[in-house]
Amino acid sequence: MPKVFTSKSQKIGELGEEIAKRYLEKRGFKIIERNFCSRNGEIDIIAEKDKTRHFVEVKSVSSAISGVKPVENMTTWKIKKQRAVISEYLRTQRNVSDWQADVLFVYLDIKDKTAKVEFLEYAF
């Protein structure tokens, strides 16, 4: 059953994840999984490139929400949870030896229908 997003922030998040997915694919990443869930949380995108598994947290913001920067949503608590989810994933995937945690920021301008992407590798 597909996800149903009701709030504006959920819709912005889903749009940001779709833009992030396309951004990664255009740069040669193979998408392994989206929205991997565990008891500790969720990883937005798991991708692979050059035999390295990338755990990508996507942070999106609309220009309609003035003054908010996606980087402000990457709190110490969120990073700790992401590390726990990655550890859980790696315990189930014994064949993964090289990996990294990345953050992809998506700045959406809904009015102009444009997006700016900033990809931060080895984020945490």
Which range has highest mean pLDDT (5-14, 62-71, 72-81, 97-106)? 97-106
Q: Which helix (H) or strand (E) holds 108?
A: strand 99-109
**Residue tagged 């859980």 (tokens):** 88
Nearest alpha-carbon partner for 54 in 107, 119, 105: 119
Beta 99-109 vs 52-62: how paired, if at all?
parallel
Res 123 pLDDT > 90: no
Res 64 pLDDT > 60: no
Banded model confidence at residue 1, pLDDT cuts 50, 70, 90: very low
| Alpha-carbon span 59 to 89, nearest angstrom | 21
Helix (H, G, I), strand (E, B) or coil at 107: strand
Res 12 pLDDT > 90: no
23 vs 16, higher pLDDT: 23
Mean of per-residue pLDDT scores for the chain:
86
108 vs 72, higher pLDDT: 108
Nearest alpha-carbon partner for 11 in 73, 65, 76, 86: 65
The alpha carbon of 18 is separated from its chain's Cα centroid by a whole number of angstroms, namely 10
3-state SS record for 30-62: EEEEEEEEECCEEEEEEEEECCEEEEEEEEEEE
pLDDT of residue 4: 53
